[in-house]
Structure 1
Amino acid sequence: MQSFLQVKHVIDYSKMTHIHLRDFYASLNKKPQPERVKMLLNYLIEDQRRIEKILSTFEAVSEPYILDSWMQYVSNVDIHGLINNQKIKADISLDEITELAVKFGEVLVNFYREAATKTDLEKVSNIFKNLAEMEVKDNLKQARAALFEEM
């Protein structure tokens, strides 16, 4: 479990989570995989990179008082541990990748929604609600991409 003290720590953890996910998908992609699996993994890798950039941009343009706002938040789930516990295998199927992406996405949505309740500042709460909504939309896009790859 990770304990956070300031908003910037939650954002940094989130950014590191997306880097960790990108590295996980890249590790899977280094194994011999069918072309469709490689295409889906490439999509997921680029999606994680895009989210990392969004979070970095958010940090760069946010007012310091927002990033420095204090909050008492201990995540119920060790997201990095969850990623680390996944086996990297060469014969992973589209369905298995989709299941993993959905699972990781749901954990991130819950992470942001919980963070939104751990602050007294409405602006900070809205930031985490917006991040949760972004993850929900990304999860839908990932599911559509997986369905397209199965065709």
Structure 2
Amino acid sequence: MTTVQTAKDVIEQTKAFHKRLGSFYKELSDKVEKERVKLLLDYMSRHHENLAGIMDEYESGLSEKVLTTWFMYVNKECDLSPFFSADLGPDMTAQQVVQVAVDLDKCLLETYEAMLQNDIPDDVSEVFQGLLDMEKREKIKLAKNALKIETL
């Protein structure tokens, strides 16, 4: 699918995605029985709410010129099946939670990588490279913290 959007549109969609993930993990946390899994889900909920806040700050630091830059890119739909098809119930394991998180984070990484494949101005390219780098760091941080919680 070919999409025409502004940089601001993509940032807004990313914020909404992080907020949705935060709510998703919070709802799961309320259903699980295993304490470690509950801790992991609570952490992931806070993590994504925090990332949505970081996106707000990031956006406010960008120039209007960058935010209103229009560009066209070909993207595939993000695979949100982990929201719907994973066996996520009261007896889920921490490994299942981490796998869902990895699958969903992949969607964001692919979006930013697709943006960088286009012929876009350097200042806009820098924005998406920065977001891609941030998501990669956050993915590593999430994996490390998930491992710590799992080994408690």
Q: TM-score, normalising length from structure 1?
A: 0.89
Matches within 5 A, 1:27-46: 27-46=27-46
Q: Distance in 2 between matches of 1:20 and 1:74?
A: 24
Change (3 A) 1:8 1:2: farther
Q: Aligned AA for 1:23? A: S
1:83, distance to aligned residue in structure 2 (A):
5.2
Change (3 A) 1:84 1:34: closer
Q: Count how many residue pairs are aligned between Structure 1 and Structure 2.
A: 150
Q: Secondary structure at the match of 1:85?
A: helix
* CA displacement 1:11-38 (0-9 Å, x = unmatched): 1111111111111101101103211111
Q: Which runs of 5+ in 2 are unaligned?
A: none
Q: Distance in 1 between matches of 2:122 and 2:81?
A: 30
**Aligned residues with identical type, % of pairs:** 27
Q: TM-score, normalising length from structure 2?
A: 0.89
Partner of 1:77: 77
1:2, distance to aligned residue in structure 2 (A):
8.1
Partner of 1:97: 97
Q: Which runs of 5+ in 1 are unaligned?
A: none
Matches within 5 A, 1:41-80: 41-79=41-79
Please tell me whether the aligned partners of residues 22 and 45 of structure 2 are also in contact (alpha carbons under 8 angstroms).
yes
Q: Secondary structure at the match of 2:5?
A: strand
Q: Distance in 2 between matches of 1:17 and 1:119?
A: 25
* CA displacement 1:30-85 (0-9 Å, x = unmatched): 10321111111111111101110111112222111100001102431235x44542
